[in-house]
Structure 1
Amino acid sequence: MAEDIVVIGKITSAFGVKGGVKIFSYTKPRLKVLDYDPWLLKLGGEWKPVKLLSGREQGKTIGAMLEGIIDRSQAEELAGTQIGIFEHQLPDLDSDEYYWRDLEGMQVVNQEGVSFGEVSHLIETGSNDVLVVRETAEQASGKKRKERMVPFTPDAVVDVNTDARLITVEWDADF
């Protein structure tokens, strides 16, 4: 499949005797994983489409029934399998919204032009998301790579230029 795949969750285990699977969702809110059809399962190193027949919240997890999975042993074989969707299935965002995956790997500089490195990943704190910015190997020059945590807020993030893959922040280089 030539189109980009976005991983939205994984199958963690089987439930019941009729082929149900438990899902760990990466979507926000977590039940949003059930809104996508078809799902793609990474089986034997390849993405294979599968129809989601039904799904629902089950306590602290999500249960789902998939087309062609009719007994517990088939469901158990899927434990650990990644769930993906085609990139075009993602909803369009407003101009000031970003998917985390699009911010990862972007270069980060402050308004004085000091390079902080690149976005390694993001974390959710409850009040706001946080960019984890790690120096590049060249910047670290043999020493341990420095990490900065920059809140993804209007006060700290001045500009996100997706074309240039550059985030400009209002952040002191010594912090």
Structure 2
Amino acid sequence: MSVRDSGGSGRAKTASRAPVSFGAFARKPVERNATHAAAGQASAGIEPVESLPDDAVEVGAIVDAYGLKGWVKVAAHANAAQGGDALTSAKCWWLVKGREIKAAPVVAVKVHSDSIVAQLSGVGDRDQALALRGWRVQVRRSDFPSLGADEFYWVDLIGLEVVNEAGVTLGAVVDLIDNGAHAVLRIEYPSQGRDGQPATGERLIPFVGVYVKTVDQAAKRIVVDWEADY
């Protein structure tokens, strides 16, 4: 199995039987020559909308202008399934700032060093691009690039129940952590503090094949080789 963020795109991948190396979480977007035209949308311009799509996922933020012709520079999120591949594959971005939401058709987009640069419809000069600094970027989950059968985006693992092979519930995934070698599931579960009051416990389980046995997205469950008292 392997996990990807969507900037390296947050995939996760594990082997169901033999232990495997999942590889490092990719902080930088995959180097692809991803330039595309948003067919039928290029002339629409950026327009205010009332709401986000139901499957919208925040993947980055506009941090600066790029060049003189209206391109913007985007910092892709490097955590829990958000970032580059989704940014370069989506033909429309949703820009969010406070309560304002805008639909922004993408004319062209590409990877540039450790960021994403893009030309949005109707943004024709540097001043217009600078005016978009600080807007957060969301894309539809359905616009994320498709993955292999044994790959998962981090965003799809959040909320899944985690049980061990004995059927003991260990909690639910609330986040994933990149430790430089592989991803780690951060799991929370109901517990009790020293004062006897309800508290939240935490488990950290490496997302590697030796521990993670199956990921069943349909059943919203991850089965692990991990004891409750670890």
Contact 2:213 2:223 in 1 (8 A): yes
Q: Where does structure 1 lack aligned partners over 5 or more consecutive residues?
A: none
Judge conservation of contact 2:92–2:103 (CA < 8 Å) in 1. yes
TM-score after normalising by structure 1: 0.80
Deviations 1:13-65 (A, max 9, x none): 23444433221123789653223212222256354322223344444433322
Provide the residue aligned with 2:16 in structure 1. Answer: none
Instruction: Provide the C-alpha distance between the structure 1 equivalents of 2:140 and 2:83, rounded to a whole number of angstroms.
Output: 18
Q: Does 1:109 align with 2:150?
A: no
Q: CA deviation at 1:69?
A: 1.9
The match for 2:123 is: 69
Q: Which has the higher helix share?
A: 1
Aligned CA RMSD, in angstroms, stands at 2.8
1:146 counterpart SS class: strand
User: Following superposition of structure 1 onto structure 2, how do residues 1-175 of structure 1 map, counting pairs within 5 Å?
Assistant: 1-26=52-77, 31-32=84-85, 33-43=87-97, 45=99, 47-136=101-190, 139-140=191-192, 142=197, 144-175=199-230
Q: Percent identity?
A: 34
Unmatched segments (≥5 aa) in structure 2: 1-51
Contact 2:59 2:83 in 1 (8 A): no
- Aligned partner letter, 1:127: A
2:159 partner SS: coil
| Counterparts in 2 of 1:40 and 1:2: CA distance versus 1, 3 Å | closer
Looking at structure 2, the residues matched to 113 and 38 of structure 1 have their Cα atoms a distance apart, in angstroms, of: 43
Matched residue type, 2:128? Q
* Contact preservation (8 Å) 2:89, 2:145: no
Normalized against structure 2, the TM-score is what? 0.63
- Report which structure shows greater RCO (CA 8 Å, sep ≥6): 2
Rounded Cα–Cα distance in structure 1 between residues aligned with 2:147 and 2:68: 40
Q: Deviations over 1:132-174 (max 9, x none)?
A: 11123xx346355222111112211122222332212101222
One-letter identity of the residue aligned with 1:40: W
Between Structure 1 and Structure 2, how many residues are aligned? Answer: 173
